[in-house]
Amino acid sequence: MELKDLKVIVTGGAQGMGAHFVQRLAEAGASVAAGDVKADGLAALADRCKGLSGTVHTRTLDVSRDEDCEAFVAWAYGALGDLNGLINNAGILRDGLLVKKDKETGAVKKLSRAEWDAVLAVNLTGATMMVRETVAKMVETGSRPGVIVNMSSVARHGNRGQSNYVSAKAALAANTVTWAREFGSFGIRVGAIAPGMIETPMTQGMNQKARDALVERVPVGRIGLPEDIWRAVRFVLECDYFTGRTIDVDGGLSM
């Protein structure tokens, strides 16, 4: 699919990789509906994208709320005049060991149910509901071809202190295969990108020592940039013979 022909939703579009995707899409002439919980970030994004070849429409979106997902997709279809794509980018972190013992006091601390539920609600259930609503609209209106890009993570292979995040991202990668099989008859492809450590507001908030140690493990010798991930996203969007697979973009970190 040509980028200029896309009428696409981008979740988590107010900052980081999502904002970068929106701007790149608009530069290529696509029509984009960007959603995020951060209204101020969306406003800044809309300002940055004024005058580009494509169009950018923004609206607040909390993907953890089913009614928000349904309403956003209906709004996006009206704002864009059609709908043939989704970049499922919204995500949060609530890291912590499932069980931890304090070295000094011996106290045992457990990952809370609230921390587990928060990550699953956004990163898995919210992503799934966005796929459901987007595909339902595309099938209902007969829009084809279509494409879905799920943002998974190399953490899906397992990562200490991220039981909730790992579970969500592994499930999203697995469901990329499931949905590719389910939606192929509707002319909809489904792919996933699994970033490694990328320079975003999320990673900028990491403990510096832990961040430096992780970067040292990356064979290419640097942290990734949103542009690195965009190039992979663009491949999935444009390659009509790609579906049902997850591409790791991690500088070799997961080798």
Distance CA 34, CA 61 (A): 9
* Strand 99-101 relative to strand 108-110, pairing: antiparallel
Q: Which residues are annotated as catalytic? A: 165
Structure tokens at 254: 């997961």
pLDDT digit string (tens) for the chain, length 255 residues: 999 999 999 999 999 999 999 999 999 999 999 999 999 999 999 999 999 999 999 999 999 999 999 999 999 999 999 999 999 999 999 999 999 999 999 999 999 999 999 999 999 999 999 999 999 999 999 999 999 999 999 999 999 999 999 999 999 999 999 999 999 999 999 999 999 989 887 777 777 887 788 888 899 999 999 999 999 999 999 999 999 999 999 999 875
CA distances from residue 40 to 15, 34, 36, 43 in whole angstroms, order as listed: 10, 13, 10, 5
Inter-residue contact 243 to 180 (CB < 8 Å): yes
**Nearest C-alpha neighbor of 243 from the set 176, 197, 193:** 176
Question: Is this model's pTM higher than 0.85 or not?
Answer: yes
Q: Structural domains in the chain?
A: 3-248 (3.40.50.720)
